[in-house]
Amino acid sequence: EPEVTQTPSHQVTQMGQEVILRCVPISNHLYFYWYRQILGQKVEFLVSFYNNEISEKSEIFDDQFSVERPDGSNFTLKIRSTKLEDSAMYFCASSRDSGETQYFGPGTRLLVL
């Protein structure tokens, strides 16, 4: 069964450093998403991406965040200058269409020190 994969599973970084989180969505899916979950809290939407453009983003997704689909398989989330409060689990998801089921990856646990 196809699944969304994410790398790395864990990332530790110093405050102010740049991080890139990687995702490989399900191959025939066209819509891609990033969500985050701060420890013990609910899952929060960050951004949706379709046809090489951001289609929707939340207030959390400020100028420090960017997304990219550098090739036909990867989907990345970049945080330019990490802050302590960026520490969270980051989930990538994909769907065939914006109205279809979103399938989530296993997540990357980011710890900013």
For another protein, the binding residues (CB under 8 A) are 4, 31, 33, 35, 41-45, 48, 50, 55-56, 58, 91, 95, 98-99, 101-107
Nearer Cβ to another protein, position 18 or 56?
Answer: 56
The whole-angstrom separation of Cα 63 and Cα 87 is: 17
Q: How far is the CB of 77 from another protein (least distance, A)?
A: 14
Instruction: Give me the least distance between CB of 45 and another protein, in Å please.
Output: 5
